[in-house]
Amino acid sequence: MSTEKLALTTNSSARKPASAGGASNALAADLTRALGPRKVLSNLSERLNYRYDAIQFGATPLAVVLPESTEDVVVAVRAARAAGVPIVGRGAASGLSGGAAPLEPGLVISFTRMTRLTIHPERREATAQAGVVTLAVTEAARPHGLIYPPDPASFRTSTIGGNLAENAGGPMCFKYGVSGDYVRALEFVDAAGEVHRLTRDVFDLAGLLIGSEGTLGLITEATLRLIPPPRFTRTLMAHFPEVGACAEAVSRAIAAGAVPSKLEFMDRACTNAVEDYLHLGLPRDAEAVLLVDTDGEDLDTVQDELRLVEDACVASGGTVRRAATDEEGAQLWRARRSVSPALGRIRPQRMNEDIVVPRSALPDVVREIRALGDASPLRLVQFGHIGDGNLHPNILFDPRTEDAHAVHDLAHRIALVAIRHGGVLSGEHGIGSMKRDFMTDAVDPGTMQALRGVKRALDPSGALNPGKILPAEGVDG
Amino acid sequence: MNNDIPVQALGGQGEVMAHAVDACVHCGFCLPACPTYALLGDEMDSPRGRIVLMKEVLEGGLPLADAAPHLDRCLGCQACVTACPSGVPYGELITAFRGWSEPQRQRSALDRSKRWAILKALPAPRLFSVAARVGQFAKPLAPVLPAALRGPLDLLPESVPAMQPSAKVTPARGMQRGRVAFLVGCAQQALAPNFNAATLRVLARNGIEVVIPDGQGCCGAAALHTGARDEALKLVRANLNAFNPDDFDAILSNAAGCGAGLKEYPMVLHGEPDETRAKAFAAKVMDISEYLNTLLQNGELEPPVPASRPLTVAYHDACHLAHAQGVRAAPRALLRHIPGVSVLEVPEGDLCCGSAGTYNLEQPDLAGQLGARKAKNILSTTPDLIASGNIGCHTQIQSHVRRQGSPTPVLHTIEILDRAYRGEL
Ligand SMILES: Cc1cc2nc3c(=O)[nH]c(=O)nc-3n(C[C@H](O)[C@H](O)[C@H](O)COP(=O)(O)OP(=O)(O)OC[C@H]3O[C@@H](n4cnc5c(N)ncnc54)[C@H](O)[C@@H]3O)c2cc1C
Ligand code: SF4
Ligand code: SF4
């Protein structure tokens, strides 16, 4: 990420919509004629609200469409194509890599009103339109004795379309896998406005769309796999006087054969930010807190597994507390899900990393990152799905008083720690525009050419979410 | 969220607003909590969207008139505040913004007279009582009236009870445990005089002397939240003069909206000479349920007479109690304390009932949709009684529950406790 792009997150430069003029009016007028006024937003007050996600502000769109059906999406895509403007898909805009924030003025298609959801218990499947809120799938499936496991911390807000576009993970993904693992079929609209229905046999084209961040097509509907919930779940919290010890406990537990369903970590600053919000009595003085669930069909096995984790924590110098009731367990998980936004209490803005490293390297990596933070005047915090080796080091800053160069520099050094230990740049939040420029560090030129080839095949004119994932042509030489 | 809000030019309220905008990290966690987002599904009618709109207007990048329709749809229910992990004081932002922007609004003549009538009638119980009676005569005309006037008529109860002035001092019964000041409220005196009567009886029964200080008036919340800041400031100052916090253990309200209003005084006077007085005052303000619950927790609450048969009570969380004041456990604890009573949780319990101050007048359509949804959710629990701690919710819920054909009684939490003490439950 360049410093200009950091400046962009402070939004002023890209904010003012130079034009409510010619083309935009024509586009909005065309769309309104075709779709009716309810589904098209063209006022400035409306368009201003479709230029950001949870990390970044971008350019104000020329028009916004709120489709209610796949046909509406087709109409919108064709209108944008005729007007020659780019198209950005948007779910709940809870993304953390700038994906839904347009880099140039164009059309935003916001899926929040495409919320049709059908459960097919006999097939253990759900059919969900793109705008269905993630948690709603499990809520609808539960009466049938089924759940939808992918559970990003944003699951009360984020949409199935956004989750699939980012291939979102969550605490459950250590044992149960990420969003993409639950897709049986996808319906999408391509850059030309054609509708396609993909299954996962023959070529796994659905897999190609998953994680493509709206750059290859617009997902309109998905058929999702459901599973019966585990009969028993047990939760424990352990806290440690040092961050590396927490990572050691994780490696120990897994080496001992435990396969917990969730293994999450947060450092002291995170715990305190959440405690300020929820007042649960979390250990404010601990340098690291580990949250663990074990689950399964047989209570004895679940308890045994919890004991393995408990022993590993104690052996690494941790203090363990088991959740006495389901409610207490639920509270602890609510605490974990609130970490990311609760950090807003410390500084108004943050640079959010999403690295993944081999589990064996975890203790060294969290210690090295902690040391980078301690040596910097900036506030650095860490949390993440530590069971997967997925860490979210966050640099918290106030752009009015803190130097954007220093933020960028620290972010870069953290990325290098990950790469040095054999890790990658994004576990689940996507590349978007935030991490686009790091792509050349992580992907070799030949692979980059292949990625560009795929993009050209599906989106020859580059209309779909331009400026995301792939660095500008020529940068990769 | 970064912003260039010209704080200097806006004064104390500018600081309040800029602080709230700063704190928002635009994560969207608040979206599913917002009733208007649930109904409309667009970003402008969500908390995050409204924060952006207010920021843009304050920065001068967006005309107020463009943002106004979306800001007007905000119920001020503060469900977003409960949902926000970043601690954004959205309630303070919208209140301060409405105060700042109202003088710049262009409103139609009908709109203006409606607002004027409300602001005059609400703080004056007698006038309100008269208006409510006039309204009752107008009820048969409802079908031919403009929608804007139909909403409030729908809400009037079948009969408007006679006013019952309360004694200035209600002595404690038995050993005196405490001494409190009580804000009698305005509209509530006219619409539901029994709320206050029950409150005084229950407090006296528990050994609490209750004083109703002279010179008190409307809490000012309605004026404040509709943007009539000057009007509100007059009311706030009158109450600061009427209540001396040093004289009482607590200053009590039994209307969630008023209690929340009283607790807001320091924010209203932020940066002004009276701020310190306002803080001392607000520190003593408690909802009646909070106060009684402290007695309960200390083992000092008189035991109620057991209900004559097992009773289920669907408890409705008033937004101004649950979200604005964070009071959820206390009323439930009081109800559960009555032997034979069990408390039911309402599905979508956090979603506003749509009454929210003057919302029925300003946004009758959305208010009606939310009222119907709330009534349906409450009735789905098939309760024997419905309880809430706020006059606005009370009338709204009663009206929609009746409309859905149910005779289930809707009571104030304190009325249920009072009935229990009197052996009438
Ligand atoms: C507090 C918080 C916690 C989070 N926790 C997690 C977590 O634990 N795990 C995790 O993986 N992520 C997490 N996220 C990130 C974010 O919630 C996920 O990336 C989520 O999947 C985004 O969904 P959305 O509906 O908000 O999509 P948006 O942010 O609206 O969009 C994300 C991307 O998808 C594209 N897109 C959206 N809809 C479509 C569509 N229908 N078709 C094609 N492209 C589309 C957009 O163009 C954009 O590139 C978190 C975010 C927040 C704010
Ligand atoms: S939850 Fe809080 S921080 Fe997040 S968008 Fe809403 S108000 Fe802003
Ligand atoms: S106060 Fe209520 S209606 Fe207004 S933005 Fe917040 S949640 Fe929505």
Closest atom of ligand 2 to A344 CA is 3
What pLDDT, on a 0 to 100 scale, did the predictor assign at position A80?
Answer: 96
pLDDT of residue B219: 85
**Shortest alpha-carbon distance between residue A402 and chain B (Å):** 13
pLDDT for position B133: 55
User: Which of B22, B26, B61 lies closest to A54 in CB terms?
Assistant: B26
Q: Is A43 on the interface with B (CB under 8 A)?
A: yes
CA–CA distance, A9 with A279 (Å, rounded to integer): 31
Q: Is the CB of B33 under 6 A from ligand 3?
A: yes
CA A426 to chain centre: 10
Q: How confident is the model at residue A6 (pLDDT cuts 50, 70, 90)?
A: very low
Contacts of A157 in chain B (CB under 8 A): 27-29, 31-32
For Cα atoms A107, A112, A116, give the angle at the middle one, nearest 5 degrees: 125
List the single residue in B25, B42, B43 with the smallest CB-CB distance to A341.
B25
Task: Give the confidence band of A432 by pLDDT, cuts at 50, 70, 90.
Answer: confident
The chain A residue lying nearest B40, using CA atoms, is A113
Answer yes or no: is pLDDT of A133 > 50: yes
For residue A307, what pLDDT is reported?
Answer: 94
Beta strand segments in B65-189, E? 169-170, 178-182
Share of chain A above pLDDT 90, in %: 71
Could you give the CA distance from residue B351 to residue B372 in angstroms, rounded to a whole number? 12
pLDDT, residue B131, reads 56
pLDDT, residue A26, reads 87
Distance of CA B66 to the CA centre of its chain: 28
Would strands A232-240 and A288-296 be described as parallel, antiparallel, or unpaired? Answer: antiparallel
3-state secondary structure of B27: coil
* pLDDT at residue A459, rounded to an integer: 96
Q: Which residues of A416-427 are buried (b: 16+ CB within 10 A; e: fewer)?
A: ebbbebebebbb
pLDDT of A10 > 80? The answer is no
Task: State whether ipTM is beyond 0.95.
Answer: no
- Eight-state DSSP code of residue A133: B
Cβ within 8 Å of residue A239, ≥6 positions away: A283, A286, A288, A289, A290, A318, A319
For B357, phi then psi, to 5°, come to: 60, -115
**Per-residue pLDDT, B231:** 85
Is A344 close to B88, i.e. CB distance below 8 A?
Answer: yes
Angle, vertex CA B310, rays to CA B331 and CA B381, nearest 5:
65
- What digits encode the pLDDT tens for the residues B27-43? 999 999 999 999 999 99
Predicted confidence at residue B90, as pLDDT, reads 95
Mutate to test the pocket of ligand 2, among B1, B3, B19, B26 (most ligand atoms within 8 A of CB): B26
Contact list, B49 vs chain A (CB under 8 Å): 49
Q: Which of A127, A83, A131, A128 is nearest to A109 (CA)?
A: A131
Beta strand extents in A254-378 (DSSP E only)? 262-267, 288-296, 319-322, 349-352, 355-356
Is A49 an interface residue toward B (CB < 8 Å)?
Answer: yes
Q: What is the DSSP letter of A424?
A: B
Q: At what angle do helices B147-155 and B125-138 cross, to 10 degrees?
A: 110
- Sheet containing B169-170, strands listed edge to edge, beginning at the edge strand earlier in sequence: B169-170, B208-211, B178-182, B250-253, B285-287
- Nearest 5°: CA angle at A413, between A407 and A415? 105
Ranges in chain B, pLDDT < 70? 114-166, 187, 189-190
State how beta strands A379-385 and A390-397 pair: antiparallel
The lowest-confidence range among A130-134, A416-420, B35-39 is A416-420
Helices B288-297 and B193-205 meet at what angle, rounded to 10?
Answer: 20
Q: What are A286-299's pLDDT values in tens digits?
A: 999 999 999 999 99
**Model confidence pLDDT, tens digit, residues A82-125:** 999 999 999 999 999 899 999 999 999 999 999 999 999 999 99
List, in sequence order, every beta strand (DSSP E) within A166-280: 183-189, 195-199, 218-225, 232-240, 262-267
Question: Side-chain half-sphere of B249: how many Cα atoms within 13 Å?
Answer: 17
Identify the pLDDT of residue A1: 36
| Residue A15 confidence class, pLDDT cut points 50, 70, 90 | very low
Are B41 and A113 in contact (CB < 8 Å)?
yes
Ligand closest to the CA atom of residue B52: 2
pLDDT of residue A3: 34
Condensed to tens digits (0 to 9), the pLDDT of residues A46-60 reads 999 999 999 899 999
Which residue, among B162, B246, B228, has the nearest Cα to B197 in the 3D structure?
B162
Minimum Cα–Cα distance from A115: chain B residue: B41
User: Strands A125-129 and A218-225: what pairing?
Assistant: antiparallel
Q: Which ligand is nearest to the CA of B46?
A: 3
CA of B17 from ligand 1 middle (Å) equals 29
| pLDDT score recorded for residue B11 | 80
What per-residue confidence (pLDDT) applies to A79?
96
Query: A219-233, A413-427, B35-49: which has the minimum mean pLDDT?
Result: A413-427
Of B1, B22, B62, which has the smallest distance from its Cβ to A44's Cβ?
B62
Cβ–Cβ contact A348 with B under 8 A: yes
Residues of chain A positioned with their CB less than 8 A from the CB of B44: 41, 45-46, 49
| pLDDT greater at residue A80 or residue B145 | A80
What whole-number distance in Å separates Cα of residue A73 and Cα of residue A219? 10
d(CA B355, CA B106): 25
User: Tell me, what's the pLDDT at B158?
Assistant: 54
Q: Which of residues 72-101 of A touch B (CB under 8 A)?
A: 92-94
Could you please report the per-residue DSSP string of B237-274?
Answer: HHHHHH--GGG-SEEEESSHHHHHHHHTHHHHTTTSTT
Q: Which has more confidence, A189 or A408?
A: A189
Longest dimension (CA), chain B: 64
Closest Cβ opposite residue B42 in set A66, A94, A338: A66
pLDDT at A20 exceeding the cut of 60: no
Q: Would you state the pLDDT for residue B407?
A: 94
Q: Which two tokens stand for residue B338?
A: 């009555």
Interchain contact, B42 vs A133, CB within 8 Å: no
Give the best residue of B54, B64, B86, B350 to mutate against chain A (max A CB count within 10 A): B86
B76 CA: nearest ligand 3 atom: 1
- What is the number of CB-based contacts under 8 A between chain A and chain B? 111
Asked if residue B47 has its Cβ within 6 Å of ligand 3, the reply is yes
> Residue A389 pLDDT more than 50?
yes
